[in-house]
Structures are given as C-alpha cells and as structure tokens.
C-alpha cells in the first residue's frame, strides 16, 4: 500500500497558504438589498395590519370544491409547470457543477503501451525490443481561490438556482390566477344562462296569454308580434351564451391539462361571495410575490458576477500533484521501486490584453445596473397593481350593492306592469319594457358579482397569495 510522506517544509508552506486563502475576502461588494421607498400601507387601506400573512393556496378562500380540483389538476399536468420544473433541475445541476470547482478534482489515469525503437540508430538498444510499458497514477489539481472568483461564481449560481424556483412560483401564480378568472367567467355564464332561461319561460307564458287575448279580441296583433320578437331575442342570447361557455370550458381544459374536462352547469343564478380583504394590508406583503423575489435573486447573481470579473484581473494559482507507478511489467507497477510522483504550482498572470478583462468588469457592472433597475421597476409595478386591485374590489362591491337595489326595484315594476296588463289598464308594450329592464338588471347584477370575483383574483395575484391571519 503506497503512502505519501509530506515533508516538514511542505507543511510549513501549505498550512499558512490555506489559512491565507480562507481569510481573503472575495473581490466585489457583498450583496445588500437596495432600499426602494414605498409607503407602509396601500393607498386603499385604512391602517397597517401587521398580523396579516400570505397564504399560498389563496384559491381555497373561495370555498369552491370544483375550483380547488381544477387548480390541483393544473399544478400536476400543465405543460408550463412541467417546463418550469425541468428548468429548476437544469439550473440546480449547473449550480452543483460550479460548486464542485471549489474542491480538488481527483483522476485515475492508466496507460499500457508496446513500443519498438530502431536498432539502426546511433545509440545501442538495451533490453527487449519491442518492449511494454505500464503506467498508473492518481492525479489532482486545485485552483487556489485567492481572489474569490470561485466563491463569487458559486454565489451567482446559487442565486440563479433560487431564481428558477421563484420563476416556477411565478408560473404557478399566473396559472392559478388564469384558471380562477376563467372559472368565474364560466360560472357567470351559467348564471346568465339560468336568468335567460327563466326570462324565456316568463315570456313564453306571456306569449301564450297574448295569443289567448288575441283570440278573445282583447289584444292586438301588434302585442302578439312584440311578444314573439322578445322570445326570439332571448333564444338568440341563449345560443351566444352557450357558445361562450363551450369556449371557456375548452380553455380551462387546456390550462388544467385535462382535455376531457367536464364541468356541470349551475342550476341557479347564484355566484359565490368573494372573500373580503382585511383592513390595512401592509406593503411588506410585496415580498411574497415570486416575481419580486425572482428579480432580487437575479440582482444577487449580477452583483456576484462583478466579483468574478474583477478576480479575472488578478493572477490565478493552481496546485497539481500526481502519484503512481510505472514499469515494464504490469505486475511491478505497484512496487516501491516503480513509484513515480510529481508536484507543481501553476501561475497565470495577465500582463497585457488590450483592456479585455477591464471591459468584462464594465460589462458586469452595467448588467448589474440593468438588473437593479428591473428590480426597482418590478417592486413599483407590484405596488401599483395591488392598489389598482384594491380599488377594483371596493368599487365593484359598491356597484354590486347598487345593482342589487336596482334588481329589486325592477322586479316590483314588472309585477305591477303584468298586473295592469292583465287587468286591461295598460298596453303590452309596458310589460315588454318592464321585462327588458328586469332582465337587464338581473344580468348586470350577475356581471357585477363576477367583476368583484375577478377583482379579488387580481388582488390575490398582485399580493402573491391570499391573506391569512397569523396565529
């Protein structure tokens, strides 16, 4: 068994060298989060609620089992999600590759040759001709990271790996938001269809009544044709709603990765009540947004790349060593007399490159400035999106309340118009007008509820998740 004997002089030289390397701070500045001035709370919030935290599964706050199942399928089957997962695997493998460069490499080399030399040359040939030669050795090399080039490269790769996770989370958030928006549009179409069917049933009854009144000489042909036109208009509206529902269902099938998706229609006109945001959402919730975290990791990576570029301006030093055996017979390779070894120190000192390395430092610095500007822009955009979503949630709630009152009043007007028509005190035109107003009021209320639901989805996306009270 072979052993390496390290001389006293080597120990005296190597130990302080390793201590010196570990004590050397890498070139470049350590990352510090930039200060982006933001208000402590959003413009539409009344106070700061420090107890509010983010829930990643925000869609469960709607308490809709069908929506929960749709999103579960999408997170498992969607092609964009699978692509993002593969990207994470790629970047993490690249980070491991760069991290491996900070440790020595160890290689086993073996060689067997058979050589014949000329016997007609000026020198006599000793020994066998041709002859065999066997060589086996273990070699290692290690770059001394004096200037922190490898440490900064590892820092950059680690940030890129984290960024890939946040990129996937961004895809997740975007996907779940699109599914929720399409789902509530689908349910709105179901409610509108139910309203149209109920209105059609009422108008068909009115049409039957008008025919009887015409036969009795009480109503005119004008009343009959107006009733027929109103019924036909509703049938056309139902056909358009059916087309939109089918298209929306196809989009949900594509997003969920289930092309055989089937969602039964609602049997009533009710839409779920959206969750109400708590008062005073703190602006610190922006840190929950994956795109903000992604932009910060990209900034960390760009900052580390400056250190990598600066380290290239300084000499690189590598240690190499090899230990093995060489002999004419394979059985003698491991004998002490066949032992061979080498040790060396490689120095690469840049002297003149026409400013190439300096230009690379300038490029890395300029790229860091671009990424910094992007980070600031992402935060400012996120803050604006939250404010816009809060405005939409509040205003749509007020609009829905007003339309609810309008719907109640329109129903009372319709009841009066029908009673007056049946009693012979008013023309059928008054009934048609009242039916039209009530039908429009019902549709407007449903659309307002859908808009409120869509606004809460937009708020969840803007916040990077849903609100949840801390324990």
Rounded distance between C-alpha atoms, residue 436 and residue 428, angstroms? 12
Query: Between 3 and 87, where is the model more confident?
Result: 87
Q: Quick check: 434 pLDDT over 90?
A: no
Of 94, 239, 267, nearest to 164 (Cα)? 94
Average pLDDT, integer, range 186-210:
84
What local confidence, expressed as pLDDT, does residue 5 receive?
44
What local confidence, expressed as pLDDT, does residue 354 receive?
87
Rounded distance between C-alpha atoms, residue 281 and residue 39, angstroms? 11
What local confidence, expressed as pLDDT, does residue 45 receive?
56
pLDDT tier at 124, thresholds 50, 70, 90? confident
Pick from 10-24, 29-43, 385-399, 447-461: least confident: 10-24
Q: Quick check: 391 pLDDT over 80?
A: yes
pLDDT in tens, 348-365: 888 888 888 899 899 999
Provide the CATH topology of domain 34-102+148-314+355-469.
Outer membrane efflux proteins (OEP) (1.20.1600)
Q: Quick check: 374 pLDDT over 90?
A: yes
What local confidence, expressed as pLDDT, does residue 44 receive?
59
Q: Quick check: 214 pLDDT over 80?
A: no
Q: Quick check: 182 pLDDT over 90?
A: yes
Which CATH class for the 104-144+315-349 domain?
Answer: mainly beta
Count other Cβ atoms within 10 Å, centred on residue 64.
16
Query: Between 460 and 42, where is the model more confident?
Result: 460
Q: Quick check: 148 pLDDT over 70?
A: yes
pLDDT tier at 47, thresholds 50, 70, 90? very low
Rounded distance between C-alpha atoms, residue 421 and residue 415, angstroms? 10
Average pLDDT, integer, range 250-261:
90
Average pLDDT, integer, range 162-188:
92
Residues near 157 by beta carbon (within 8 Å), at least 6 away in sequence: 91, 94, 95, 98, 99, 301
pLDDT tier at 130, thresholds 50, 70, 90? confident
Percent of the chain past pLDDT 70, that is, above it, reads: 89
> Which DSSP string corresponds to 157-224?
HHHHHHHHHHHHHHHHHHHHHHHHHHHHHHHHHHHHHHHHHHHHHHHHHHHHHHHHHHHTTSS-HHHH
Average pLDDT, integer, range 62-69:
92
8 A C-beta contact, residue 130 and residue 195: no
Of these ranges, 4-8, 24-28, 243-247, 411-415, the one predicted with the greatest mean pLDDT is 243-247
Average pLDDT, integer, range 176-197:
92
In the predicted model, what is the mean pLDDT of the chain? 83
Query: Between 449 and 205, where is the model more confident?
Result: 449
Rounded distance between C-alpha atoms, residue 131 and residue 111, angstroms? 14
CATH 2.20.200.10 domain position(s) in the chain: 104-144+315-349
Q: Quick check: 244 pLDDT over 60?
A: yes
Average pLDDT, integer, range 9-20:
49
Task: Give pTM, 2 decimals.
Answer: 0.77
């Amino acid at each position: 068994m072979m052993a390496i004997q390290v001389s006293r002089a080597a120990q005296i030289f190597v130990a302080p060298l390793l201590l010196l390397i570990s004590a050397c701070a890498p070139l470049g500045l350590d990352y510090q989060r930039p200060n982006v001035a933001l208000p402590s709370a959003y413009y539409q919030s009344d106070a700061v609620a420090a107890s509010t935290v983010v829930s990643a599964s925000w869609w469960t706050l709607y308490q809709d089992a069908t929506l929960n199942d749709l999103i579960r399928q999408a997170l498992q089957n969607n092609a964009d999600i699978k692509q993002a997962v593969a990207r994470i695997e790629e970047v993490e493998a690249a980070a491991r590759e760069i991290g491996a460069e900070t440790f020595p490499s160890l290689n086993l080399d073996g060689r067997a040759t058979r050589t014949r030399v000329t016997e007609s040359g000026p020198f006599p040939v000793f020994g066998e001709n041709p002859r065999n030669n066997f060589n086996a050795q273990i070699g290692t090399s290690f770059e001394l990271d004096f200037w922190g080039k490898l440490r900064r490269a590892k820092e950059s790769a680690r940030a890129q790996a984290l960024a890939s996770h946040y990129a996937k989370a961004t895809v997740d958030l975007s996907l779940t938001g699109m599914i929720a928006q399409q789902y509530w549009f689908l349910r709105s179409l179901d409610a509108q269809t139910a309203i149209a069917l109920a209105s059609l049933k009422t108008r068909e009854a009115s049409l039957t009544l008008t025919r009887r009144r015409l036969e009795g000489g009480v109503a005119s042909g004008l009343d009959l044709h107006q009733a027929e036109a109103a019924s036909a208009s509703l049938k056309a509206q139902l056909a358009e709603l059916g087309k939109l529902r089918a298209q929306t269902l196809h989009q949900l099938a594509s997003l969920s990765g289930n092309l055989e998706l089937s969602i039964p229609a609602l049997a009533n006109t009710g839409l779920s009540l959206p969750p109400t945001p708590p008062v005073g959402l703190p602006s610190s919730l922006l840190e929950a947004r994956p795109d903000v975290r992604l932009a910060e990791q990209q900034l960390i990576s760009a900052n580390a790349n400056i250190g990598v570029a600066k380290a290239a301006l300084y000499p690189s030093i590598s240690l190499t060593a090899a230990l093995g055996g060489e002999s004419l017979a394979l059985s003698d390779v491991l004998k002490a007399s066949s032992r061979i070894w080498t040790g060396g120190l490689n120095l690469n000192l840049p002297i003149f490159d026409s400013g190439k390395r300096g230009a690379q430092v300038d490029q890395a610095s300029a790229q860091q400035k671009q990424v910094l500007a992007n980070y600031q822009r992402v935060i400012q955009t996120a803050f604006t999106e939250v404010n816009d979503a809060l405005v939409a949630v509040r205003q749509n709630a007020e609009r829905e309340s007003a339309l609810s009152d309008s719907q109640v009043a329109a129903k009372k007007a319709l009841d009066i118009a029908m009673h007056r028509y049946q009693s012979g005190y008013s023309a059928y035109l008054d009934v048609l007008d009242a039916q039209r107003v009530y039908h429009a009021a019902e549709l407007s209320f449903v659309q307002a509820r859908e808009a409120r639901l869509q606004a809460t989805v937009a708020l969840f996306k803007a916040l990077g998740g849903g609100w949840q009270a801390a324990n």
